[in-house]
Amino acid sequence: MTRTLNNCPAPAKLNLFLHVTGRRPDGYHLLQTVFQLVDLSDLLHFEVRQDGLIRRSTDIAGVPEESDLIVRAARLLQSAIQTKDKISAIPPGANISIEKKLPMGGGLGGGSSDAATTLMALNHLWQGSLTREELMALGLQLGADVPFFLFGRNAFAEGIGESLQKLDTPALWFVIIQPAVAIPTEIIFSSSELTRDTKPVKMTHFSIASNKLFGKNDLEPVAAMQFPEVANAIKWLSNYGDARMTGSGACVFCGFLQEDQADKVLKLVPSHWKAWKAKAMQKHPLAGLLDR
């Protein structure tokens, strides 16, 4: 019988704040942020195949199969299993399909989350027996945000985003707006306008007992200047609370204590923007695959 694992969520993240505190000699930026999981997700479906091939059965506009983080994650896991188990045979392959909901260039971590879900699901299906820590080390080879999704819960992050401490966050509801732009991360981080000297904070400084957010997003002024639609969305959403951009953009968000507050604002979002309501989550829906 073919082994399958269907309807595997790859949830979005929000950066509740994002400070750039420096830059390493290799060009990577040093950050401090709080990653917040929300229940807005892509869905992935996996089917084991015995010939070792990795196939993506869903077309994604602008993302060739060979460069897709999903495919790269699966192949990286195959290699890691071979090395760990000291086997010459290629581990099983997989057919992977995806129901894509998270926008590219939105700052919601969609590609990274897809990669993390792939690593968790296939490690389970292939009986790879890699630990969470081993998968996180693999994930860092794919992108700085991937380890967070494998970490499995909300976190205070430092370094380039890979140094993680678990953190409980308030049970907020979020309205998330996607302006009609996609922002390549490298454009924002390479900008001469980006400040890179925000004073480091301690995790104990972070507290949001209400929907008032801590700190700021250092990338937001750069994105808002280069992409006026981002500035417009922040300005509009600020009428209803503390609005902020997530990641390097383009999506912006605002938190609310009650679901009906988020519902009311969601209904008012101008039709030229795409928008969602999302609930804060404390743990990744697939965290149980690695908790054993």
Q: Which residue has the tokens 């997989």?
A: 94
- Last-in-domain residue among 166, 199, 226: 166
* Domain presence at residue 287: no
Residue 94: give the domain boundaries: 4-166
- 60 and 142 within one domain: yes
- 161 and 27 within one domain: yes
- pLDDT, one tens digit per residue, over 9-49 is 999 999 999 999 999 888 889 999 999 999 999 999 999 99
Is 278's pLDDT higher than 90?
Answer: yes
Confidence of residue 89 (pLDDT cuts 50, 70, 90): confident
- 254 and 185 within one domain: yes
- 138 and 252 within one domain: no
- 36 and 143 within one domain: yes
Query: Average pLDDT, stretch 72-87?
Result: 91
Alpha carbon distance 31, 167 (integer Å)? 17
Query: Which one of 114, 145, 218, 277 is the catalytic residue?
Result: 145
Asked if 97 contacts 56 with a C-beta cutoff of 8 angstroms, the reply is: yes
* Domain presence at residue 291: no
Longest pairwise C-alpha distance within the chain = 60
The whole-chain average pLDDT of the chain stands at 93
Is 210's pLDDT higher than 50?
Answer: no
Query: Which one of 13, 42, 114, 218 is the catalytic residue?
Result: 13
260 a catalytic residue? no
- Last-in-domain residue among 166, 200, 222: 166
Alpha carbon distance 194, 207 (integer Å)? 26
Query: Average pLDDT, stretch 242-270?
Result: 97
DSSP one-letter code for 289:
H
Query: Average pLDDT, stretch 96-108?
Result: 96
Write the CATH number for 80: 3.30.230.10
- pLDDT, one tens digit per residue, over 144-187 is 999 999 999 999 999 988 899 999 999 999 999 999 999 999 99
* Domain presence at residue 121: yes
145 a catalytic residue? yes
Alpha carbon distance 275, 283 (integer Å)? 23
Confidence of residue 242 (pLDDT cuts 50, 70, 90): very high
Please state the domain count of the chain. 2
pLDDT recorded at residue 84: 84
Asked if 229 contacts 250 with a C-beta cutoff of 8 angstroms, the reply is: yes
pTM reported for the whole predicted model: 0.95
- 139 and 11 within one domain: yes
- 243 and 129 within one domain: no
Q: How far is CA 134 from CA 128, 129, 188, in A?
A: 11, 10, 30
- 245 and 102 within one domain: no
Dihedral pair phi/psi, residue 145, rounded to 5°: -85, -15
The rounded percent of the chain whose pLDDT value lies above 90 is 84
- 96 and 201 within one domain: no
- 258 and 207 within one domain: yes
